[in-house]
Amino acid sequence: MKVLGAKNRKAAGRRSDISLRENSRSGFRGWLPGAGLVLALICTVGAYGQTTITGAGSTWVYPLVAKWSAAYQAKTGIQVNYQSIGSGGGIAQIKAGTVAFGASDMPLTPDALSAAGLIQFPTAVAGEDLVYNIPGIGAEKLVLSGPVVADIYLGNIKKWNDPAIARLNPGLNLPDMYITVVHRSDGSGTTFTFCDYLSKVSPEWKEKVGENTSVAWPTGVGGKGNEGVASYVERIRGSIGYVEYAYILENHLADARMINRDGRIVAPSLTGFQDASAHVDWTRAQDFYVILPYQPGPDTWPIAGCTWQILRKNAPRASNQAVMKFFDWGFEHGQQMATSIAFGPLPPSTVNAIKAYWKSELGYGM
């Protein structure tokens, strides 16, 4: 008992020695970062008070806004804090006035906008394409048309060697294999753009399914996000899915060529997406209520989409102007950044139309 006590005391003594030394050292080291933290806190509080723009909404446009905001902050010191919570959330937040701007992949109708006291303008053009997993058929070998894709997604075309597909691909050896349809399971602007395209090319699709950020799919399996769809397509033999072009580029997926509205076979490309927006007369569409898929033009990519930024008319003037300045800067200086992540910048005529729209709707410019 005694021996044990002595040992304990000794151990305790050693422990307290160590802790003492540690304390003094950490005490010495401690105040420096502490002071730094306080300084940083003061700085951020100061910065937060004046120069933060908050936005929320679409996940599709998130990479672009994130890229622009980093560069914009480096240039001007103004921080853009964008939360990619989804288009539905973005619309709800801007209506509630908790953010300076909301972003949606699906434009609001002019009626809905005026009812809620909102305005909207497009940001950039992006595209999507079908990817497939057919043994022996590589990237951009397969050619598809809108009606054929609609029939595949309706479950009318069940096998890859269906005459309708074979007619589009005379040189290809299409296997006698069942098609597994893969779609997005989560609500998404990608789905809206895709279904809007199918509704335009197939009356049966328009009647039975229609277009929305999520729909009642007649057939197939659902993957969560672009990565979910891509990994299903990668793993399921005989499958087909639709993903954003940026995602195809990054992951080198086997994508299809499409027949566009002019009847020409095109591969997805940024210029093809921009052609889609170039053929739209943005200046004449009320509140930029234009949906981009299936536009005419010889090189136009048929499945192009857009994201809209939404502002509140009765928001403080300074807040709206800060948002307008940010996007104007992006339209002018952010083109390189946009193309580097497969977003097509808006043509100058559209940007001018947006500026005129701001002035006429809000009564003031930047």
Partner 1 sequence: MNDSDAVAQAGFRPVSAEPKAPGRSWRLSGDFLFHKAAVFAAFLAAAALFATVIAITIDSLMSIHTFGIWGFLKSSQWNPVTQTFGAFPFIVGTLVSSAIALVLAVPVSFGVAVFIAEIAPSWIKKPIAGAIELLAGIPSIVYGMWGLLVFAPVFANMEPWISNTFGEIPGIGVLFQGPPMGIGMLTAGIILAVMILPYISSIMRDVFLIVPSSLRESAYAMGCTTWEVAWHITLPYTRSAVIGGIFLGLGRALGETMAVTFVIGNSNMISSSLLMPGATIPSVLANEFTEATTKLYVSSLIYLGLVLIAITLVVRFLAVLLIRRLGRGEGAST
Q: Which residues in this chain contact partner 1 in the complex, by CB under 8 A?
A: 1, 59, 85-89, 91, 104, 106, 178, 180, 185-189, 209-217, 220-224, 228, 231-232, 235-236, 238
Q: Would you give the distance in Å from CA 364 to the centre of its chain?
A: 30
CB of 308 to partner 1, least distance (A): 13
**Distance of closest approach, residue 227 Cβ to partner 1, in angstroms:** 9
| CB 252 to partner 1: min, Å | 17
Name which of 350, 325, 345 is nearest 78 in CA terms: 325
Nearest to 261 by CA among 305, 312, 208, 197: 197
- With respect to partner 1, which residue has the nearer C-beta, 59 or 274? 59
With respect to partner 1, which residue has the nearer C-beta, 194 or 326? 194
CA atoms of 33 and 39, how far apart (whole Å):
10
Nearer to partner 1, 228 or 305 (CB): 228
CB of residue 364 to partner 1, shortest distance in Å: 30
- Which CB, 89 or 146, lies closer to partner 1? 89
Q: State which residue, 61 or 338, has the beta carbon closest to partner 1.
A: 61
Least distance to partner 1, CB of residue 303, Å: 18
**Cβ pair 68, 309 in contact under 8 A:** no
- How buried is residue 226: exposed, middle or buried, by Cβ count under 10 Å (0-12/13-18/19+)? buried
CB of 63 to partner 1, least distance (A): 17
| C-alpha–C-alpha distance, residues 166 and 266, integer Å | 18
Q: What are phi and psi of 136, to 5 degrees?
A: 90, 0
Is residue 365 left, alpha or beta, with left meaning phi > 0 and alpha meaning psi from -120 to 50? Answer: beta
**Shortest Cβ 88–partner 1 spacing (Å):** 4
> What is the nearest approach in angstroms of partner 1 to the Cβ of residue 320?
23
Alpha helices in the chain (DSSP H): 2-50, 62-76, 87-96, 110-116, 146-154, 163-168, 189-201, 203-208, 225-235, 245-251, 270-278, 317-333, 335-340, 348-362
Instruction: Identify whether the C-beta of residue 176 lies closer than 8 Å to the C-beta of residue 190.
Output: no
For partner 1, the closer of residues 118 and 209 by Cβ is 209
Place of tokens 């058929």: 137
Quick one: 31 or 178, whose CB is closer to partner 1?
A: 178
Angle of helix 317-333 relative to helix 62-76, nearest 10 degrees, comes to 100
Q: How far is the CB of 312 from partner 1 (least distance, A)?
A: 17
From its phi and psi, is residue 155 left (phi > 0), alpha (psi between -120 and 50) or beta?
left
Q: Which is nearer to partner 1, 210 or 316 (CB)?
A: 210
Q: Can you tell me the distance from the alpha carbon of 281 to that of 276, in angstroms, rounded to the nearest whole number?
A: 11
Q: How far apart are CA 242 and CA 230, in angstroms?
A: 8
Task: Give 134 or 362: the residue with its C-beta nearer to partner 1.
Answer: 134
